[in-house]
Amino acid sequence: MISPIFMAFAIIFAEMHGLNEIYHKVLIIEDVDDIYLTFLMTRRYEKNILLFKEEHEHISLFNESMKQLTSKIDNINYDYIVKGERRTFLALKDTVALYDGTMQSLLYDKYDKRDEETLKKMRHYAREVQKTLTNISRVERNEINKKISNAKLSFALSFVLIVIGVIIVSYLLARGIINTFKSIEKALDDINKDDNSGHYLDIDGPQEIRSFISAYNRTIAELTTVRAAYTNTIRKLEDANDELMHKQDEIIEKRNMAAMRLLSSEIAHEINNPLSSVISMLYMLYEEIPKSDAKGELVQLMIKDTNRCQVLIRALADFAKQQPLKLKEVNPASLVSEAVETVRRKLGPDMPYLTTYIEQLPPTIVVDPVLMNQVFVNILNNACQFTPVDGIIHIRGYTAETHVLFSIKDSGSGIPPEVISSLFEPFFSTRRGFGGTGLGLTISRKIIDRHRGSISVESVLGSGSVFKIKLPLTQDPV
């Protein structure tokens, strides 16, 4: 007769165990993400040692990071990892040890005598570690989502079973005293019509009836309390899952930027040396060409362009190292004017008509003038690239409480909506044929982020685009 209630509580107690598993899986995911970030830091020291030859100051940092990595792996509770991934995670420590071993063998060799095969093995082990951690994190998150869905279903089912049990008990008792229980029957009908809460009965009758009514009202009160508790628990689980997804997005963003810096470091290292040789040879060639020979001008142009490439490579290397901001008080109007002049000198007569409305800017703001000049030049270059020569570009600047705002509006063809979300991703470009690298906007956003500011873009196809920059008036170094 009351078996539905027993079934409901049996389901509840079973799901309590599932909630405990979710809690421990959340801890597992946090630990795995922490291990992943520690391993990325270890690889950063590895790159600094192998690519930039900064062995003296980074070998100890690398070894200390490896100790932290091994300790964090040892401290994870393997019992709560999905069974299919336990063996993979147990093998992770061996892979980390192989990575450390190959790295240590490389450190004993001189820089120019390091075995290329050992380098390949070390990088292979590193990729295996990253792949293992990423797979475990993904599987555990999927398992949490599955358990949350099961918990929702179980809680709803248990609540329905409890209500059914109460209805059955009430109905069977009501059959013996039909006249008195007409009111109870109506109340039970009301319960079936809405949210099963707040239907308390006040019926006079024999002691047995009053006892039943009292028990019934207590049950309704308990159901209301239990339902509120279950609803609150589900809401907390949903909030926890949302927070995990947000952290996952942050980790993916950090992972992408770390990958971009690694790639930038390798590009700068591989290109800088041969580029220096090319410049030296061009200078030697220029000295041997008579001044009357027209080829001298061509060589001069080659030297100029090659020097510009070398400057860009050095800037790429500096960005990969992420040097501290050199904050100064600067005039924001002058900052904009200098960027405009830089672009104007570059484009000459091909530059679209440009208007500036910067009279409302404050006298000074605190920024790194070199980096912020790079931001404005990047955005203005993009605007000029997509604006016809007879088009117009508007630059506005004004103060809003504790921030300064800039907007750069072009009259180009606009940006498709499906492209806007990827606009600031590394190496994404819509103008490969015009020399775009896909790094300009990515670097600009990182510079603005380091200034604790923000950048956004609004665009309508056929009506141009607007880039908006928001910067604090004053700030501490990042």
Candidates 147, 159, 160, 146; CA nearest to 15 is: 147
The pLDDT-based confidence of 141 (bands split at 50, 70, 90) is confident
Q: What pLDDT, on a 0 to 100 scale, did the predictor assign at position 121?
A: 83
Mean of per-residue pLDDT scores for the chain? 76
Model confidence pLDDT, tens digit, residues 299-325: 778 877 777 677 667 656 655 666 678
Class of the domain covering 4-168: mainly alpha
Model confidence pLDDT, tens digit, residues 169-226: 666 666 656 656 666 666 656 555 555 555 666 666 667 677 777 787 787 777 778 7
Task: Report the alpha-carbon distance of residue 105 to residue 114 in Å, rounded.
Answer: 9
Q: What pLDDT, on a 0 to 100 scale, did the predictor assign at position 54?
A: 60
Dihedral sign for Cα 18, 19, 25, 27, please: negative
Return the SS3 of 204: coil
Residue 408 sits at the vertex; the CA angle it makes with 405 and 414, to the nearest 5 degrees, is 135
Q: What pLDDT, on a 0 to 100 scale, did the predictor assign at position 7?
A: 64
Residues of each domain in the chain carrying CATH 1.10.287: 205-322
Task: Report the alpha-carbon distance of residue 453 to residue 97 in Å, rounded.
Answer: 41
- Fold classification of 324-472 is Heat Shock Protein 90 (3.30.565)
Candidates 42, 50, 49; CA nearest to 70 is: 42
Residues of each domain in the chain carrying CATH 1.20.120: 4-168
Dump the DSSP string for 398-440: EEETTEEEEEEE--SS---HHHHTTTTSTT--S-GGGT--S-H
The better pLDDT of the pair 250, 347 is held by 347
Q: Give the Å distances, CA to CA, from 428 to 209, 241, 408, 420, 466.
A: 76, 30, 21, 11, 19
Mean pLDDT of 437-457: 84
For 374, the token pair is: 């790079």
For 52, the token pair is: 């930039």
Residue 154 above 80 pLDDT? no
Task: Report the alpha-carbon distance of residue 261 to residue 123 in Å, rounded.
Answer: 17
Q: What pLDDT, on a 0 to 100 scale, did the predictor assign at position 433?
A: 47
For 354, the token pair is: 């440009």
The better pLDDT of the pair 171, 106 is held by 106
Mean pLDDT of 79-90: 65
For 172, the token pair is: 């069977």
Q: What pLDDT, on a 0 to 100 scale, did the predictor assign at position 198?
A: 52
Q: How many CB atoms lie within 10 A of CB 419?
A: 12
Q: What pLDDT, on a 0 to 100 scale, did the predictor assign at position 332?
A: 92
Q: How many CB atoms lie within 10 A of CB 224?
A: 15
Dump the DSSP string for 427-473: T--S-GGGT--S-HHHHHHHHHHHTT-EEEEEEETTTEEEEEEEEES
The winner for highest mean pLDDT among 22-26, 41-45, 204-208, 454-458 is: 454-458
Q: Give the Å distances, CA to CA, from 129 to 201, 241, 428.
A: 64, 25, 27
Torsion of CA 170, 173, 176, 179, to 10 degrees: -30
If residue 358 lies in a helix (H) or strand (E), which one and from where to where? strand 353-360
Residue 456 sits at the vertex; the CA angle it makes with 452 and 461, to the nearest 5 degrees, is 170
Task: Report the alpha-carbon distance of residue 109 to residue 121 in Å, rounded.
Answer: 16
Residue 96 pairs with which residues in a beta bridge?
none
**DSSP-derived secondary structure letter, 327:** -
Task: Report the alpha-carbon distance of residue 8 to residue 434 in Å, rounded.
Answer: 67
Task: Report the alpha-carbon distance of residue 31 to residue 311 in Å, rounded.
Answer: 41
Q: Give the Å distances, CA to CA, from 438 to 52, 260, 267, 384, 443.
A: 25, 11, 15, 16, 9
Q: What pLDDT, on a 0 to 100 scale, did the predictor assign at position 427?
A: 62
Mean pLDDT of 336-365: 88
Q: What pLDDT, on a 0 to 100 scale, did the predictor assign at position 177?
A: 64
User: Candidates 1.10.287, 1.10.15, 1.10.3470, 2.60.40; correct CATH number of 205-322?
Assistant: 1.10.287
Q: What pLDDT, on a 0 to 100 scale, did the predictor assign at position 247?
A: 84
Task: Report the alpha-carbon distance of residue 409 to residue 424 in Å, rounded.
Answer: 17
Residue 434 above 50 pLDDT? no
Return the SS3 of 383: helix
The better pLDDT of the pair 473, 309 is held by 473
Q: What pLDDT, on a 0 to 100 scale, did the predictor assign at position 10?
A: 65
φ/ψ of residue 46, rounded to 5? -60, -45
Dihedral sign for Cα 302, 305, 308, 309, please: negative
Whether residue 257 contacts residue 42, with contact meaning beta carbons closer than 8 Å, is answered with: no
Candidates 433, 435, 444; CA nearest to 471 is: 444
Give buried/exposed letters for 440-455 (b at 16+ CB in 10 A, else e): bbbbbbbbbebbebeb
For 147, the token pair is: 């358990």
Model confidence pLDDT, tens digit, residues 252-270: 767 766 666 676 667 766 7
Mean pLDDT of 14-22: 65
% the chain with pLDDT above 90: 10
Candidates 426, 442, 449, 314; CA nearest to 368 is: 449
